[in-house]
Amino acid sequence: MWELGRELGFNRETTDQIEKHLEREGLVQAVTMEGSMSITPLGVAEIEGARRFPDGPTRYFPPLNVVYGQQEASSEGKQDPSRISQESSFSPAYLEALARNMRRLREQISELSLEDDIKKEIETEIAAITAQLSSKQPKAEVIRESLKSLRDILKAVQG
């Protein structure tokens, strides 16, 4: 489990917390003393449910975003793999959950003991996401990049 945590950018303490949470929820179980884990039947059912119904949330997974790809034809009418346009979108349930989380984060920011410039960075990313969420056609790439920035800021603060 620690190797997976490291690959995902988590330190050992955070990985241990995640592992304990997943075990308490009955989604994984320890297999060896060295940290090897196995997905339980409940964990498998959750993953299968999320994959079977990607537009709806499960108890543990938010709705999956959907990516549509379209290959554009060249001027000669042939398919040109270098000219693939990709449109990403999020399900309405995902966008609603994201809006709720942004409101919560905005409310809790003042309670965090952070430097003013860090709070300002977080507020800027929240504002970018919120602006996209209020758009008739939110740009998935803008939302994704702002979420990555938020993650990076919060990870840096965590240390």
CA neighbor of 36 nearest in space, from 26, 23, 47, 49: 23
In a domain, 21, yes or no: yes
In a domain, 107, yes or no: yes
Residue 76 DSSP one-character state = T
Q: Is the pLDDT of residue 83 over 70?
A: no
In a domain, 84, yes or no: no
Structural domain containing residue 7: 2-52
Contact assessment for residue 130 and residue 55, using Cβ atoms and an 8 Å cutoff:
no
What does pTM read for this prediction? Answer: 0.48
In a domain, 8, yes or no: yes
**CA–CA distance from 134 to each of 72, 113, 130, 131 (Å)?**
30, 29, 6, 5
- For residue 139, the model assigns a pLDDT of 86
Q: Please list the alpha-helical segments (H only) found in 29-139.
A: 41-52, 92-108, 116-134
User: What are 98-143's pLDDT values in tens digits?
Assistant: 888 899 888 888 888 888 899 999 999 999 999 999 988 888 888 8
CA neighbor of 40 nearest in space, from 30, 54, 32, 55: 30
In a domain, 60, yes or no: no
User: What are 6-25's pLDDT values in tens digits?
Assistant: 887 788 888 888 888 889 98
- Number of structural domains in the chain: 2
In a domain, 65, yes or no: no
In a domain, 36, yes or no: yes
What would the mean pLDDT of 37-61 be, rounded to a whole number?
81
In a domain, 99, yes or no: yes
- For residue 89, the model assigns a pLDDT of 65
